[in-house]
Amino acid sequence: MYRRELMELQKVDFALVELNLYLDTHPADMQAVQQYNQLAQRRLQMCAAFELKYGPLMHFGHSYTRYPWQWIETPWPWQV
C-alpha cells in the first residue's frame, strides 16, 4: 500500500512539473493554470494523508513528524 500511494503522489508531482514547464512558455493559458492549481491542491491533500499514515516525506521543516522521531524509520520516500 505504501508503494502504491507513493506512486500516486509521484504521478501528481510529475504532472505538476510538466504543467509548470508548459506554463513557463504559455502563461496566459487559463485552462492550464486552473489544472495546475487543482493538481497543487490535490497534491497537498494527498501529501497530508500520506504523511499521517506513513510519516514525513520531506525534511528540514517541510513536513511534521510524530513522536518518536520518524526519520529513523525506513524506507524513506527517496529509497522506494
- Identify whether 79 is part of a domain: no
Q: How far is CA 79 from CA 3, 18, 25, 26, 75, in A?
A: 11, 23, 33, 35, 6
Q: What is the pTM of this model?
A: 0.77
- Identify whether 51 is part of a domain: yes
- Identify whether 18 is part of a domain: yes
For the chain, percent of residues with pLDDT exceeding 90: 59
Full residue range of the structural domain in which residue 44 is found: 2-58
- Identify whether 12 is part of a domain: yes
pLDDT in tens, 48-77: 999 999 888 877 665 666 666 666 677 777
Q: How many separate domains does the chain show?
A: 1
pLDDT in tens, 30-47: 999 999 999 999 999 999
- Identify whether 70 is part of a domain: no
- Identify whether 21 is part of a domain: yes
Q: Dihedral angle at the C-alpha atoms of 53, 59, 61, 62, nearest 10 degrees?
A: -60
